[in-house]
Amino acid sequence: MRILVVEDEVDLARTLHTGLTAEGYSVDLAHDGRQGLWMARTGEYALVVLDLMLPGLNGYKICAQLRREGNATPILVLTAKDGEWDQAEALDTGADDYLAKPFSYLVLVARLRALARRSATAVPPVLAVGDLSLDVAGRVCRRAGVRVDLTPREFAVLELLARRAGQAVSKGDLLHHAWPDDAYDPNLVEVRVSSLRRKVDTAFGRQSLQTVRGTGYRLVDDRERE
């Protein structure tokens, strides 16, 4: 799942990036309002975390502009402005939730999960390829109804493959999705795919995660061959 964080406090933005990436999300950063608006318009984000007091264009105006343009991406406002009027204005201009600084990181992640679950425009709640299913919001993988424990990186790799089920997905795309900032070494993908095969295929006597020579990998419903 891809998240845009629009935050001008560089240290906080980096902390959010590190924490959310560790949770398995792909995170893009913007440090001013105009850049954030442009990225929210042009990127395919599941969620936006948005500060209110930004240089160039404030968060209220970003919310209002996105909603005027029909962009329904869920927005969580994260700000030091903690007055009830500030909260009301943020919600009235299009934000879906509000969290005041300083905040609990645990609560932030829980609220992002809640937004993803209840948003009609978020990714499908469950991605299914044959009897392999991924609960994107809950970060849960199951094969034939049996829960399979995956690391955040493994889940991110499998999520993109499930979104493009039946299609060849390049190692570059998988790197960009699961390692958005240090996506240089294809061995990172190869190691995760090898681990995924052991967990979701070999353990169940299946062969759904296929290698596409010269390209990358493909996830299929291997039951069709039975």
pLDDT at residue number 137: 66
Q: State the angle between helix axes of 152-163 and 171-178 in degrees (0 to 180), rounded to the nearest 10.
A: 130
**pLDDT tens digits, one per residue of 33-80:** 989 988 887 767 889 999 988 998 899 999 988 888 777 889 999 887
**pLDDT tens digits, one per residue of 180-219:** 555 578 888 999 999 999 999 999 999 999 999 988 999 9
pLDDT at residue number 121: 46
pLDDT at residue number 1: 79
What share of the chain in percent tops pLDDT 70? 91
Q: pTM higher than 0.75, yes or no?
A: no
- Cα–Cα nearest to 7, from 55, 46, 60: 55
- CA angle at 107 for the pair 104 and 112, rounded to the nearest 5°: 130
